Amino acid sequence: MQTKLFDYHLPERLIAQTPLQERDASRLLIADPATDHIQDSFFANLPSILHQEFCQNGKRPLIVVNRSRVFPARVRIKRTSGGRGEVFILEQNDTGSAVSCLIRPQKKLRVGEILFADQSSEHNPVPLFQIEKLDPPRVIPINSKLSAIMNQHGEMPLPPYIQRDPLRVGKEYSDLDKQRYQTLYAQEEGSVAAATAGLHFTKKIMDECSAFQCEFAEVILHVGLGTFQPVQADTLAEHQMHHENYLIPMETAQKIADWTAKDWPILFVGTTSLRTVESFVRHAFAKHAIPICQLRNYVHEESQHNAILFRKTFENMANIWFSTNLFLHPDNLEHSKTPTLGDAILTNFHQPQSTLTMLVASILSYPFWKKLYAHAVQQEYRFLSYGDSSLLFFAQRTHL
């Protein structure tokens, strides 16, 4: 398929530049490709919606969230010449050794050069990094651990489509981003972008979901810089997906196996949670050499045939770090591709021609995705990281 097919007109005014005052004040667009139904609602209604849609005949939805935590990877720097720029840290390492990064602007930099904190005094400059190499860039922290430098000088790595400078609009925005560009349940640092679908959750919403018999399960996928990069290839088949590291804890692996065996509904919070579980399941059954188009039925049959052995298969892969470059996208202009497990996904509205938009189109089918996004633009939903949310049902749902 051609990449340009996933372009759409996104007015700049619809790109959310700041979060709403309350996390759960966002709108919620509900879409069901099986019935061709689209409904406008609010995220605050999510618990009752899930109860109505999934909690039938004693079944309990499992809500899968990504607990990866964003670290303040953007550090503003100044050169001895007076030129200003930034170092964008791509990995965490407190050993004092060099770390991978991006340096902007990179022109005229030289190996061995010292980079200073942008806000330090000219008479008392604070050295932060020494450039070890430039192709690709690597810097060595000076005088402090990398984590200490980021905690003191780092800013949240907001996406490039958020066109504001925290140093120009006020420190309150920088502090606000450190709080709001992070989910409430984030724990392990490792992401350079937030799993934004989870930004809408408040303790109140989570408590109400639990009161409606929903259960939560956590996975970890550290979001990489590639999530900001649009597809450059002319066709989807030519695109090389970036790698990201993920882990599924034992308790979550057991829950996913149990929910699958019981035919209970599973809801993914965000594309990262979905890609994590999909990668995990495909890896678990890779040796069976089942075509991807048949894997969903095969996995559910296996879970029914021998639930104990099925659970053991998942347990054997739990608590282990894996890498994934899974790229979920449509194969044609007509049909959807339902993931191996699950029934629905909560996700924000994504950039034109991005892999996340292609993932959504894969779940819904290309025509229904076009219809959904046209509706969202017409109704002036807020788009991208700080924007509104959508609840998208899979065309094939196991619990019905």
Per-residue pLDDT of the chain in tens (400 residues, 90 and over written 9): 999 999 999 999 999 999 999 999 999 999 999 999 999 999 999 999 999 999 877 899 999 999 999 999 999 999 988 899 999 998 888 888 999 999 999 888 999 999 999 876 667 889 999 999 999 999 999 988 999 999 899 988 888 888 866 555 555 667 788 899 999 999 999 999 999 999 999 999 999 999 999 999 999 999 987 776 778 899 999 999 989 999 999 999 999 999 999 999 999 999 999 999 999 999 999 988 899 989 999 999 999 999 999 999 999 999 999 999 999 999 999 999 999 999 999 999 999 999 999 999 999 999 999 999 999 999 999 999 999 999 999 987 755 4
- Quote the domain boundaries for residue 251: 3-70+184-393
One domain, residues 124 and 235: no
Do residue 66 and residue 108 come from a single domain?
no
Pairing of strands 154-155, 137-141: unpaired
Burial of 171-199, coded b for 16+ CB within 10 Å and e otherwise, reads eebbeebeebbbbebbeeebbbbbbbbbb
Query: Is residue 99 domain-shared with residue 206, that is, in the same domain?
Result: no
Considering the domain architecture, whether residues 49 and 82 belong to the same structural domain is answered as: no
Shared-domain flag, residues 247 and 111: no
Q: Are residues 122 and 62 in the same domain?
A: no
User: How many separate domains does the chain show?
Assistant: 2
Query: Is the same domain home to 59 and 81?
Result: no
**Token digits of residue 108:** 């005229």
Label residue 348 left, alpha or beta by phi (over 0 means left) and psi (-120 to 50 means alpha).
Answer: beta
Domain-located, residue 400 = no
**CATH number, domain with residue 84:** 2.40.10
